[in-house]
Amino acid sequence: MQPTVILFDEVTAALDPEMVSEVLAVIRDLSRDGMTCVLVTHEMRFAEEVADVVFFTDRGTIVESGAPADIFHAPRDACLRSFLGKILSRTAA
């Protein structure tokens, strides 16, 4: 098989931390090699690192999208600001 796109839906959700790192490394390598990867994830730091475009959804609707720098460092949507404040402060510790 030679797929042009790979879809990942919360691929790390049920993994232990050691496996999460390994799976994210594989996705990172695929992306760097030019594979188009579409991820649904709560791994915000990873999304910021590897994404070209980020989409934030709330209740099944895209409420904001853009470059990672805009989404993570200058979010316009109040729900996104609140979510990132909770998630990123937790992962920084």
Residue 20: per-residue pLDDT: 94
Residue 89 has pLDDT above 80, yes or no: no
Average pLDDT along the chain: 91
Residue 90: per-residue pLDDT: 60
Residue 56 has pLDDT above 50, yes or no: yes
Which residues, other chains included, contact 28 with Cβ-Cβ below 8 Å and sequence gap of 6+? 46, 49, 50
CATH of domain 5-92: 3.40.50.300
- Token pair 């475009």 is found at 53
pLDDT band at 91; cut points 50, 70, 90: low
The percentage of residues in the chain with a pLDDT greater than 90, rounded to a whole number, is: 83
Q: Cα separation of 75 and 33, whole Å? A: 29
Residue 88: per-residue pLDDT: 79
Please check whether residue 57 is in contact with residue 83, taking contact to mean a CB–CB distance below 8 angstroms. Answer: no
